[in-house]
């Protein structure tokens, strides 16, 4: 610690005083970007904050559920992204405020006001309806934004892929579609020489929240299981692999999606001609998820909040 800048050392000492049980050794080096600092600090912050808040005030079931979602793997990845407009890694002030309010349980909307988009139900103050309402392209925008960023990540990692690839076996005859359903992304030669169909789906973990038995990450896992049940066998029968890419509105990834991005991250590190962060892939995808969430929230804000 003797070689550290005095201000930095003082900040570390202050942080250690507040969080005496947290190992801050990874910060006591000369690296300008210690590995996984966000993970360390987020875990420490939420662990201490939730414990203290619950002890002093008592948390409602919904508040406990949100804190669990915020502590889920990859829920904080979007915070580590580097703002680059050319890569779509930027938000307006109102977008960023809206995302933070949603995550920190700060009311976004007036109580009992009708949704200005669908006009079928009333908005809830915390924005859950805004993320479920399908009356606006914003719902599809979130899906398409994550798909586009994922495709761009694959391309930059040197992985051959095609976006909105036409295939003739993902369409369920029971759906009555007039056109064939494409794969969101088709990755060539991904598994044992077989092409892989990636099907994206985003869900809210608080949809239909009942107040008991909540498990963070379960909504994304259920969405993943539903996609597998619906499409995997058809892909196998046609000599393709199937990869459901399920995520929730807090950024938690289902197991298949997480495993897929870990492999992509390794490819990106090997392919990069310049140094990239060890969480580069997860940060970009996580930011895309939150930017899509922001679009849905902002579309329903009162005019005076814009």
Instruction: Give the residue numbers spanning the domain of 93.
Output: 35-305
Please tell me which of 43-52, 53-62, 119-128 the model is most confident about, judged by mean pLDDT: 119-128
Structure tokens at 210: 């009942």
- What percentage of the chain has pLDDT greater than the value 90? 44
pLDDT category at 134 given cuts 50, 70, 90 is confident
Residues paired with residue 191 on neighbouring β-strands, in sequence order? 194
Q: Is residue 1 part of a domain?
A: no
Q: Is residue 216 part of a domain?
A: yes
- Span 161-172, average pLDDT: 85
Residue 103: CB atoms within 10 Å? 21
Q: Is residue 5 part of a domain?
A: no
- Between 14-18, 201-205, 213-217, 235-239, the lowest mean confidence (pLDDT) is in 14-18
Q: Is residue 227 part of a domain?
A: yes
Nearest CA to 259 out of 290, 222, 221 is that of 221
pLDDT category at 183 given cuts 50, 70, 90 is very high
Q: How far apart are CA 58 and CA 52, in angstroms?
A: 9
Note the Cα 142 to chain centre separation in Å: 11
Q: What is the DSSP string of the chain?
A: -TTS-HHHHHHHHHHHHH-TTS--GGGSSS-SS-SSHHHHHHHHHHHHHHHHHHHHT---HHHHHHHHHHTSTTTTGGGG---BGGGTB---HHHHHHHHHHHHT---S-TTPBPTTT-SSBPPTTSHHHHH--SSHHHHHHHHHHHHHHHHHHHHTT--EEEEE--SSS--GGG--SSPPPEEEEEEEEETTEEEEEEEEEE-TTTT--SSS--TTHHHHHHHHHHIIIIIHHHHHTT-EEEEEEEETT--B-HHHHHHHHHHHHHHHHH-SS---TTHHHHHHHHHHHHHHHHHHHTTS-GGG-
pLDDT of residue 265: 92
Residue 60: CB atoms within 10 Å? 11
pLDDT category at 63 given cuts 50, 70, 90 is confident
Q: Is residue 91 part of a domain?
A: yes
Q: Is residue 61 part of a domain?
A: yes
Q: Is residue 112 part of a domain?
A: yes
Instruction: Measure Cα distances from 246 to 145, 262, 300 in Å.
Output: 14, 15, 25
**Model's pTM, two decimal places?**
0.82
- Span 198-220, average pLDDT: 88
pLDDT category at 160 given cuts 50, 70, 90 is very high
Structure tokens at 297: 């929230």
- Span 25-51, average pLDDT: 60
Number of domains making up the chain: 1
**What's the mean per-residue pLDDT of the chain?**
83
- In the predicted model, is pLDDT for residue 167 greater than 90? no
Q: Is residue 283 part of a domain?
A: yes
- In the predicted model, is pLDDT for residue 234 greater than 60? yes
pLDDT of residue 51: 66
- Span 296-306, average pLDDT: 81
pLDDT category at 1 given cuts 50, 70, 90 is very low
pLDDT category at 286 given cuts 50, 70, 90 is very high
Which residue's entry shows tokens 């976006």? 163
């Amino acid at each position: 610690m003797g070689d550290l800048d005095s201000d930095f050392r003082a900040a570390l000492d202050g942080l250690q005083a507040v969080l005496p049980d947290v190992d801050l050794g990874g910060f006591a080096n000369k690296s300008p970007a210690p590995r996984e600092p966000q993970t360390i600090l987020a875990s420490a912050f939420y662990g201490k904050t939730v414990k203290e808040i619950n002890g002093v005030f008592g948390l409602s079931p919904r508040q406990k559920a949100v804190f669990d979602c915020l502590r889920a793997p990859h829920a904080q990845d979007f915070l580590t992204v580097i703002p680059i407009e050319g890569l779509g890694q930027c938000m307006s002030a109102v977008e960023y405020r809206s995302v933070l309010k949603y995550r920190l349980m700060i009311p976004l909307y007036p109580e009992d006001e009708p949704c200005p988009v669908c006009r079928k139900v009333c908005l809830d103050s915390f924005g859950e309806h805004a993320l479920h309402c399908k009356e606006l392209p914003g719902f599809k925008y979130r899906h398409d934004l994550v798909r586009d960023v994922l495709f761009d990540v694959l391309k930059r990692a040197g992985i051959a892929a095609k976006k909105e690839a036409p295939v003739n076996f993902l369409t369920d005859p029971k759906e009555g579609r007039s056109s064939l359903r494409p794969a969101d992304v088709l990755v060539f030669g991904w598994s044992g020489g077989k092409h892989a169909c990636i099907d994206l789906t985003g869900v809210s973990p608080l949809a239909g929240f009942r107040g008991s038995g909540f498990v963070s990450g379960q909504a994304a896992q259920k969405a993943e299981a539903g996609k597998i049940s619906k499409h995997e066998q058809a892909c196998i029968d046609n000599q393709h692999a199937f990869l459901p890419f399920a995520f929730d509105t807090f950024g938690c990834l289902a197991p298949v999606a997480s495993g897929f991005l870990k492999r992509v991250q390794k490819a990106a590190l090997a392919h990069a001609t310049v140094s990239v962060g060890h969480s580069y892939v997860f940060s970009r995808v996580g930011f895309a998820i939150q930017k899509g969430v922001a679009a849905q929230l902002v579309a329903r804000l009162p005019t005076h909040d814009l």
